[in-house]
Structure formats: structure tokens, C-alpha cells
Amino acid sequence: MGRKARIACAAIGASIGASMRNTGKHSRLTLQDQLGKPSSLKLSSAPLKSQIPYLHLSQNLLSPRQETLIELIKTLNLHPLFVNYFKDGLEACRVCELLILSVHQIRANNQWIEKAIKLTKKIDDATSGTDNQCRMICEELSAFSRQMNPFCLVSKEKFHDVCQAFAMRLRKLKAKHKKTMRRAKLKRIAKSMGSMGCTLGLQKKRIKPVQGNPKMTRQEVLGVQLDVAAKGHFTLINYMATMSIVAGSLYDEVEHMKVRANMCVQSGKSDTIKEVVKSFDQRNTYFLEQLEELENQACLCLRDINASRRSIMKEIMVPQQGR
């Protein structure tokens, strides 16, 4: 794991630990209970069969917090693109929230596979397995195969919809940025030419610099804000694309494991069970590494969402404070 990933995961882990200490016995709730108000992305709200510790990362880890932003949006005359920018950040955080939930759930489910692997190794040590040992292994595999695939919470189609929505917003931000900077440039040209007695057909207009940004006009400040928001959206799209690939691969792997586990249960034959469980054992390390990779990506995405939100708020608040 890279240094940035370790720092991000450590910070999020600390927040999760603090939240778990505060939530106590109420931390073990079903997904359906925890999701509350449905996301506007219409992510699947199917409940997981088993209960696991689950926290509202999108509520607890966003900075600035969503309720703070809501109050600021009410008092500041923000451009609609910025309002949508913050909404998209919240939706991306919810996707990360579901992915982290899925990773923790599949780790819990994988304990049945690990138990089956240990039991199978005991059979190998004994050269041959008894019917009772095979039955115990089948029970573990059956328990795993009955579980819902956690990665169906955010399907490939949903990831595609999210990326498409973010890409559309990015195009609007870039177009608005280009238009804004063109206007700012024309106004500066008009001012410069006006001082020489020539307006080039443009109405001469005094340009007031923004207090707090004495060298910039309000149009230029807006252009900077739009540029920061566009860069934030570009980063989100990259994260979503990367996580979509890893989550899709993990979804397929879990489905394949469920089919093979069920095949063992249906067969009940010692040779079949040993062959399949050995294949699980050979791939288990790589499977767990993929889970860690996805969790790291989700944590880094949360970190960068916060960094981007703080940056845009800084750009917005400076000119507001100078009015």
C-alpha cells in the first residue's frame, strides 16, 4: 500500500473507530436500515442477509459537513453549477460508502471459505476424508453460496450512470469556465483600450477588483472557482472508472466462487470438494489483495473529495468575505 493510501485509510479508520465507540450497540444494523433516504443515483437498496458494523461515512467524514454546506448555500448566492458540484461530491461519497460496506461484508463472508480451506487441509493430512468431514466442508461452502453478492450494491450499470452524470457536469463546468474567462479577457481589453480613447465597439465599463483578490475581477474569480470545480470532477471521474473495474472484477469472482461452492454442495464428492477448495486457497491471497485495493481506492477518493470541497469553499469564501 502506498504512503498516501496508508495515511488516508488510517485517518478514516480512526474516524470509524471513534464513531463505533459512540454508536455502541446501535452500530449493528442492516443495510436497509442504515441507508435511510435513497440516493438520487438510485443505487440498489437490497438488504444484506447478514448484519455487520456499518457507519454513515458520507455523513461523518465529509469536510465541510453537508449540513454546513446547506446553510452556506442558503446564505450565499452560489452559481447552480457549484451547488451541483457539492451534490455530486456527496453522491460519490455514498458510492465509496457502499463499496467499503461491500468489502467488509465479503471479508465476513470469506470466513466460510477459509474454514473450508482449513478443513480440507486436515483431510489432505489424513490422506482420506470421512463423510463427516466432507459434510462439514459442504456446510461452510453452502453458507457462503447462500449469501447475496455484496458488490451488486453498485453494479457496472450504476457506475456507468455515475460516470456519465459526472462527465456531463464536467463539460458544463469547462464550457462555463471558458465563457467566463473570455468575458473577463474582453472586459480587460475594453478597459485598456478605453483608457486610450478606444472602446472597439464595446461599452466602456469600470471593472471593480474583488476585495481580498485585488488583482482579479469578479469574472476572473468565478473562472478560478469553476476551474477548481472542474478539476475536482475530473478526479472523481477517474476514481469512479478505476473503482468500477476493480468492483466489477470482484463481483464476477464472487459469483464464480458461489457457483463452484454450490457445485460442491450438490456433488458431495470428496474429490470434487478437495479440487474446488484448493482452487479457492490458491486464489484467496489475490482475492483479498483486490479487496484491499478497492478499499484503498474508496478511502483515497473520500480524501480527495474532501480536499476538493475545501479548496472550492476557500475560493468561494474569500471574495464573499471581501464584499
Average pLDDT, the chain: 76
How large a percentage of the chain has pLDDT more than 90? 35
Q: What is the mean pLDDT of residues 36-41?
A: 35
184: cell is 473577463
SS3 content of the chain, % helix, strand, coil (to 5): 75, 5, 20
Q: For residue 213, what is the enclosing H or E element?
A: strand 213-217
For residue 39, the model assigns a pLDDT of 37
- Identify the DSSP state of 203: P
| pLDDT (tens digit per residue) in 235-272 | 999 999 999 999 999 999 999 999 999 999 988 888 88
- Identify the DSSP state of 206: P
For residue 48, the model assigns a pLDDT of 43
| pLDDT (tens digit per residue) in 145-175 | 999 999 988 888 888 888 899 999 999 999 9
For residue 184, the model assigns a pLDDT of 86
Which of 137, 81, 82 minimizes the C-alpha distance to 113? Answer: 137
For 50-80, the DSSP string reads S-EE---HHHHS-SS-HHHHHHHHHHS---H
Q: For residue 214, what is the enclosing H or E element?
A: strand 213-217
- Give residues with Cβ within 8 angstroms of 119, minimum separation 6: 133, 136, 137, 140
Q: What span, in angstroms and rounded, lies between the C-alpha atoms of 272 and 75?
A: 67
Q: What is the mean pLDDT of residues 174-184?
A: 91
- Determine how β-strand 209-210 pairs with β-strand 213-217: antiparallel
For residue 185, the model assigns a pLDDT of 86
- Determine how β-strand 28-29 pairs with β-strand 52-53: antiparallel
| pLDDT (tens digit per residue) in 78-100 | 788 888 888 888 889 889 989 99
